Amino acid sequence: MVEIPTSTKQHDESRQGEALLLEQDPKKSDGRKLYIESYGCQMNFSDSEIVASILVDKGFETTRDYREADVVFINTCSIRENAEQRVRNRLKEFESAKAKNPGMVVGVLGCMAERLKSKFLEEEKLVDVVVGPDAYRDLPNLIEQVDEGARAVNVLLSREETYADISPVRLNSNGVTAFISIMRGCDNMCSFCVVPFTRGRERSRDPQSIVKEAQDLFMAGYREVTLLGQNVDSYKYAAPATDGGEPEPAINFARLLEMVAQVNPLLRVRFSTSHPKDITDEVLHTIARYENICKYIHLPVQSGNSRVLELMNRTYDREWYMERVDAIRRIIPECGISTDVITGFCSETEEEHRDTLAMMDYVKYDYAYMFAYSERPGTLAAKRYADDIPEEVKKRRLTEVVDKQREHSLGRLQTYVGKVHKVLIEGLSKRSDQDYCGRNDQNSMVVFPADTRYKVGDYVNVYTDRCTSATLIGRIVD
C-alpha cells in the first residue's frame, strides 16, 4: 500500500478529488479538453500524471473545470468501501454537465475500475469507458471507440508494464517536490488488501530510466523526489544479458536509493512504502550514509499482535517488527517513523487490540494512518474470515488508537523543538502568506517567517522554538 505521509495525507480519504492541471503548450493542443480527478494513494496521483502525458501527446489540454471538459476522468481508489462510495457520489455530480454536453466522454480509471471491470458500465450508466492501471497506453484508442458511439473497457493487467518511457506531466506541482514510481503491483497477499487484484504482479522499472527522471527533475529545478512502490523494499531489476554474456547483478532497493542519491547532493530523496519483512540493514546503512536521503521511514505495522498479523498474512510477527524498529533506531537514531494501523480486524480480541496500543507505545510513531477494518470483496479475508467485530467496537478501538497517536505525534514533535533543522522551502504557509513552509528530514512540517533572501526550492536552516500538534514553528538561522 503506497502511504506516503506528506503535508497532504495520502491514501486516506482526506486527499480526494483533486482536479489536476498542467501548464499547457497551446501549439500542441487540438482544443479537446481533459479533466482528471484523482483519489487515493500517491501511486494514483502519479498515474494521473502518466495519463495526462499520454493524452497531451495526442493534443489534449487539461482543464480544472469539468464543466468545460470533453473528457472527464476519475482515477479511483478501492482500498475501503467509503472510497468507492465517494466515486459513485461524484459521478452523480457529473450528470448535469454531461446532459449539457452529450459528447462528453466520462471515464473511470484506477483500482475501482480494475475491481469492477465491465460491471462498472452496468452499474453506472453515465460511464463510457473503464480503464485499469496497466492499460493507460490504450486510452487514445478507447476514447476514439467512444467517439464512434461504443462504450469501452480495458482492464488487462500486465507483468511488464511500468510506463518507464513515458515522462509524467507534473500536475498541480509546487515545482520543488515530485514523485517517481519505481515499480508497479504487489506480490504480497495481505488478506485485507485489494491491491494485488487491482494492480497485479510486482514488476520493477529499469533503474536507468528512474535515474534519468530524477536528473531531469533536478535540472528542471525540483529539489526532492519520492520513490513510489507498494513495497519498495522488494524492488529488484535484473538487466537482460547482452550478446550472450553474463547477466548483470540485479539492482536491489539499497543500490537504487544510492544511484538516485548520487544524482546530486542537493536533491533530497524520500521513498514509500516499506515492508517490515523486506526492509534490510543494507537499506538502513545506505540511508545513514547519504545526507540527502531523508531520515524518515513509513513502515506499516497494521497490528501489534502476532496472531492477528498471521490472519492478515503480513508474513512477520510482533517480535520481527520490533527488531526492525530497533535496527532503524540503532543505525539511524534521528529517523522519523510513521505507520498504518487497522483496528477491529476479523476476530481481534480486546487483548490483541491492547497489543497494538502497546506496540505504538514501544515505537512512538511520528504519525500514523489509522482505519477501522473495511472488508473488501474478493480479498482472502473476505473469503476466509467473518467480519465479526461490531462497528461500534471497531470505532471505539479506532478512537483509542487515534488518541494514543495524537499523544505520540505531539511528543515526537516536541523532541524536534529547540533544534536547528535543514528545511526545503516548498511554498508559503497555508495559514499566512508572511510565512514559508517546508519539511525537515523527518518529514515534519515546519513554518517560519518568509525571508526575501530565500525562495521556494532553497534549503534553509530553521531553529524551532515551539510546535503545535502537527507543525514545528521557528525562524531562519544562518
Taking the complex as a whole, the smallest distance from the CB of residue 70 to ligand SF4 amounts, in Å, to 34
> How far is residue 390's CA from residue 344's CA, in Å, rounded to a whole number?
8
Residue 190 in the binding site for ligand SF4 (CB under 6 A): yes
> How far is residue 154's CA from residue 251's CA, in Å, rounded to a whole number?
32
Q: Which of 16, 38, 188, 292 binds ligand SF4 (CB under 6 A)?
A: 188
265 or 378: CB nearest ligand SF4: 378
Q: Which of 457, 458, 447 is nearest to 413 (CA)?
A: 447
230 or 442: CB nearest ligand SF4: 230
User: Going residue by residue from 222 to 261, which x/- string records binding to ligand SF4, judged by CB under 6 A?
Assistant: --------xx------------------------------
Taking the complex as a whole, the smallest distance from the CB of residue 79 to ligand SF4 amounts, in Å, to 9
- Binding to ligand SF4, residues 260-289 (CB under 6 A): 275
63 or 273: CB nearest ligand SF4: 273
Q: Which of 195, 261, 335, 472 binds ligand SF4 (CB under 6 A)?
A: 195
Q: Is 382 left (phi over 0), alpha (psi -120 to 50) or beta?
A: alpha
Residue 193 in the binding site for ligand SF4 (CB under 6 A): yes
> How far is residue 113's CA from residue 130's CA, in Å, rounded to a whole number?
6
User: Going residue by residue from 167 to 186, which x/- string records binding to ligand SF4, judged by CB under 6 A?
Assistant: -------------------x
Taking the complex as a whole, the smallest distance from the CB of residue 301 to ligand SF4 amounts, in Å, to 11
Count the residues of the shown chain that bind ligand SF4, applying the rule CB under 6 A. Answer: 10
Q: Which residues, 6 or more positions from 363, have their beta carbon under 8 angstroms from its beta carbon?
A: 301, 322, 325, 337, 339
Residue 328 in the binding site for ligand SF4 (CB under 6 A): no
Other CB atoms within 10 Å distance of the CB of residue 102: 6
Residue 1 in the binding site for ligand SF4 (CB under 6 A): yes
Q: Which residues, 6 or more positions from 166, have their beta carbon under 8 angstroms from its beta carbon?
A: 50, 53, 54
186 or 460: CB nearest ligand SF4: 186
Of the ranges 46-54, 187-195, 207-215, 396-404, which one interacts with ligand SF4 (CB under 6 A)? 187-195
Of the ranges 167-175, 189-197, 218-226, 374-382, which one interacts with ligand SF4 (CB under 6 A)? 189-197
Taking the complex as a whole, the smallest distance from the CB of residue 198 to ligand SF4 amounts, in Å, to 10
User: Which residues of this protein are in contact with ligand SF4, per CB under 6 A?
Assistant: 1, 186, 188, 190, 193, 195-196, 230-231, 275
